[in-house]
A and B are shown apart, each in its own frame.
Chain A
Amino acid sequence: MASMVYDEYGRPFIVLKDQQSKNRVKGVEATKSNILAARSISKLLRTSLGPKGMDKLMVSPDGDVTITNDGATIMTQMEIHHQVAKLMVELSSSQDDEIGDGTTGVVVLAGALLEQAEVLLNKGVHPVRIASGFETAAEVAIKHLEVIADRVEFSRDNLEPLLTTAKTTLSSKILQSHRDEMAQVAVQAVMNVADLDRNDVNFDMIRMEGKTGGSLKDTALVNGLVLDKEFSHPQMPTEITDAKICILTCPLEPPKPKTKHKLQITSVEAYEELYAQEQDYFRAMIQKIKDSGANLVICQWGFDDEANHLLLQQGLPAVRWVGGVEIEHIAIATGARIVARVEELSEDKLGTVGKVKQISLGTNSSRQQDRILVLEDCKNQKAVTVLVRGGNKMIVDEAKRSLHDAMCVVRNLVIDNRVVYGGGSAEVSCSLAVKKFADTVSGVDQYAIRAFGDALDDIPMALAENAGLSPIEEVAAIKSRQVKENNPRVGLGLNHIDLDAKLDLNGKRFDHSTDMKTLGVFETLIGKQQQLQLAAQVVKMILKIDDVISQGNYQ
């Protein structure tokens, strides 16, 4: 290794210590090995792209099974340790945070870009030139997206466009068979909390609760909150109307001061006094709650048996051990103030709920988790909960993830109603535009820009591949139609194969290129733009690395 450097007197000194225990890769080698790692990640995700994509089954270190085709979930659960591969993971999760959908697409695109970059590297193009070319190309593509973007008009009375978008997102997931109902749930949930005037959606108001059992079809939107809890005493009423809620974050137990202290009992009187005080303590506490006018107590902590019984006797249904996040949601939804000390409780700090009821699910009602509390008609009408049901735990988890994606997409539409058409049509159109632009650029950049265009073609290719079609034929068909008809909306129509099986009846080779507008398959403009931007950025970053020094394994 050439980590030895000579100073001005010709004496050698070591730049890098302990070379033997460190791994070091330099120059083009480093770039290539990084590209390899990143590409193998994207190859893995490639098969999950699109409506015909496959799922991945992951076993966690504890033996739990997750089945998903959500890119971000796969990546985060894969336990990747390669440094550059980790960049890809972050790429996917930043797309997830920003947009919520297209997490697989962005990784596949980055992989395709890197593949093209490798070809250029082999031709001897300098990585930085490739990077700058990609950057220019990405800008062109993003601008082009704006040109071909369409606006989707919708209002509260006309939710059809939103439904179609949600359906597109869901079509790649396991929920496919119930996507109509699911899309309805997702759209309703978002519309309930959306502020159309400000184009804003507050996701905090949407909760997702998963319960195994029933079927996916039983998934429903509850106008209010669902708590995975039950009343603290089995004889409390299971249904309350016009509930006034008080939310406590202190336990209904004798006080436990945080400072360490000892209470010495030295005489009988002291003993009795203490006993009386303790009894009073409970009575006072419950009385305070009663006086405030509350008729439902939600508490973050536990109750003492005696306190519990006093609550029952006073006709105060109560719920204990409610988690912090749920407490906040209840507070937002009901307009209640979270009270940390019973003494501070007063009437104006109570929240109101139209109806609270406890519902038992399934047969094993002895198990606590099979009872849920439903809080309906909250003061703040906007709070909603999606109760997800399904045949087993994995399905419920996957359904939750998919619904989240769908809601994100709907939210993005509410924020910005510009869309581009799906099925790879936008990518092909961008690819054409980028290549056209490439011809106007002189120098090495031209190659890089053209390569970017080629990489864009990879998305429809992957879609076609996953559907078992011939990728080159399909993409060529789309391209020629886009140019011929000057219609950037032509893409790969896959869903209608399911919907109308009669189309390819006569055994003829069926051309799958279709105007995506007629199929109603579209994605949000910001989502697509974000994909291009993020992928280009990460690729640039990877290309610019020319030296990787990593700590060797500990001996």
Chain B
Amino acid sequence: MESAYMSMGTEMEKGENARLSSLIGAMAIADLVKTTLGPKGMDKILQSVDPNDQSISVTNDGATILSKIPLDNAAAKVLVDMSKVQDNEVGDGTTSVAVLCGELLREAEQLLLQQRIHPQTICAGWRLATKEAKAALEICASDDITREDLVKIASTTLSSKLVHAEKKHFAELCVAAVERLKGSGNLDHVQIIKLPGGSMRDSYLEDGFLLEKSIGVGQPKRLENCKILLANTSMDTDKIKIYGSRVQVDSLNKVAEIETAEKLKMKKKVDKILAHGCNVFINRQLIYNYPESLFAQNNVTAIEHADFDGIERLAAVTGGEVVSTFDNPDKVTLGECDLLEEILIGESKILRLGGCKSGAACSIVLRGSSNHLLDEAERSLHDALCILMATLKHPRRIYGGGCTEVAMAHAIDKAAQETPGKQAIAMASFAKALLQLPMIVADNGGYDAAELVTQLRAAHAAGKNNYGLNMTNGTIGSMDELGVMESYRSKLQVLTSAAEAAEMILRVDDIIKSAPRRREEMM
């Protein structure tokens, strides 16, 4: 009947069918990523579908995996979107959020099909459960964060990643990098330079600042007491920008004249730049040979093509100003650093700026045996840096290793017992879904999940509320002693977005799918 009034090609799923199709989509997504969860999680290989680009990446970052899978299921898209937001907001927990949402919906399916509970009732129960869970999380959290705690938080995040073996080293590195930012909170200022070769252990945080550029030909390779002028200006021929202008000449002589005029103009520009008294000139755009040679003549090191982020970071690190006009040298602040030199890491030449005026930016050099390894290491570091920033912004921490999940489940179960009505069943299902997280983590480690999680529950019931999974030897233990910590903010975000998204998907009873827009074929 629907086809009678809908446009051609429109599909519609109704009621139970619609609900099931969205539940199945969401669960499939959760199942897809759940094996990557936890310190013993596995990685995925992603290969592009584009026949021209057969590059692969190896990762266990939930957001990366999900954003690269082409999907057709609407509910699955909700999950992917949620995971992306988690990535943008806190940077970590992208897998957990998808898994929790999927598990919630799995529980919902049971309630819907076997117990015939109305979706709205389930939602109502979940809302009560979320409230309880938040309260429980609040109790778990503690406010005082020492540097040691930061290291622990970073290493917990890193423990599920490829860099697991070196997590202490990397955790220290991340914390040091974040400390360098001095609370500016702009992660752009942490630059990660990936250089294949060496081992992961050789990765380090550079004292100064690194720029992946080389110095122009014939210019000094080592400079002390640099005065740096950062610019964003064209150093080719400096075209005249007035619209519609063009050169028309009637003789060869004139061409030559114009050419000299052009050169002269460039020279004037270079002179103006030199008038600033700088001995290093770094431009965002190209520098042509002619101005480059002029700079060389005047003993100024010229570096071209520092990309946009690079220039901004340089500005932050040297305290200089990004300049585009050069008429008022006195108004321009120059950047300063003690030492500029070209160094070799592995086989790549890299510029190193040492002793910068304001060290508000920093560089991390990642070494590793292959590009895939480096890519994954970069993603892992990014996650760890994000989580550290988030923790610094909201300085609260909780225990990891499934400890808070069990604590929240415990609190919800207790509240469910005091709640009359069908909502209580939904609340219990919420608790069950939460317990699935440590279950999966243990499963991925190859341990007896049911045994461990029940032990954990018993421990929490007995009041040992800092107990969690000890993934090194497959037992339970105090997370305080093991030093497994997570950011409160990240966990809260996982909880709320998973609950919101699950509720949203559950409330759907019709799916109306428009016919895909036909792309015009290129003939």
Could you tell me which A residues sit within 8 Å of B by CB distance? 36-37, 40-41, 44, 47, 52, 54-63, 65, 67, 69, 74, 77-82, 84-85, 174, 176-177, 212-217, 233-235, 253-257, 260-268, 271-272, 274-275, 277-279, 281-283, 304-306, 308-310, 312-313, 360, 362-367, 370, 390-395, 398, 466-468, 498, 501-502, 504-505
Contact = CB atoms under 8 A, between A and B. Distances in A.
A215 B495 CA distance: 10
B336 to A, nearest CB: 16
Contacts of A214: 89, 493
B459 to A, nearest CB: 30
A78 B322 contact: no
Contacts of A309: 232, 322-325
Nearest to B85: A212
Interface string B395-437: 0000000000000000000000001110100000000000000
Contacts, number: 262
Given A56-B512, A80-B5, A362 B89 contact: yes
B54 interface: no
B16 to A, nearest CB: 12
Contact of A394 (B4, B5, B81, B261): B81
B5 A234 contact: no
A394 B328 contact: no
Contact of B420 (A55, A233, A263, A505): A505
A265 B504 contact: no
Nearest to B14: A44
Contacts of A260: 244
A390 B249 CA distance: 63
Contact of B508 (A67, A176, A466): A67
B250 A265 contact: no
B249 A266 contact: yes
A265 B260 CA distance: 14
A348 B325 CA distance: 30
A364 B232 CA distance: 24
Nearest to A370: B88
Nearest to A82: B5
Range of interface residues on B (Cβ < 8 Å): 35 or more
Nearest to B331: A313
Interface of B: 1-2, 4-8, 10, 18, 22, 74-75, 77-78, 81-82, 85, 87-91, 118-121, 124, 127, 130, 185-188, 232-234, 240-250, 254, 257-258, 260-262, 265, 309, 312, 315, 321-325, 327-328, 331-332, 386, 389-390, 419-421, 423, 493, 496-497, 500-501, 503-505, 507-517
B386 A265 contact: no
Given A62-B517, A174-B507, A501-B419, A278 B85 contact: no
A57 B188 contact: no
22 contacts: A57-B510, A60-B514, A61-B515, A78-B10, A79-B514, A80-B6, A212-B85, A234-B315, A235-B321, A235-B322, A263-B245, A267-B254, A277-B242, A279-B327, A281-B242, A305-B233, A306-B325, A360-B185, A364-B91, A364-B187, A365-B185, A365-B187
A95 to B, nearest CB: 20
Contacts of B244: 257, 260-263
A74 B5 CA distance: 14
A41 B188 CA distance: 51
Contact of A312 (B124, B249, B321, B513): B321
Q: Top 6 nearest A-B pairs by Cβ distance?
A: A309-B324, A82-B5, A391-B497, A61-B517, A54-B509, A263-B245
Given A81-B6, A264-B246, A363-B187, A393 B81 contact: yes
Contacts of A283: 327
A278 B504 CA distance: 57
A117 B234 CA distance: 75
A44 to B, nearest CB: 6
A258 to B, nearest CB: 10
Contacts of A313: 325, 328, 331-332
Contacts of B328: 313
Contact of A271 (B88, B186, B250, B261): B261
* Residue picked from A36, A215, A310, A467, most chain B C-beta under 10 Å: A215
Contacts of B513: 58-59
A468 B85 contact: no
Given A278-B240, A304-B241, A54 B119 contact: yes
A40 B510 CA distance: 13
Given A80-B5, A257-B243, A392-B81, A308 B324 contact: yes
A59 B512 contact: yes
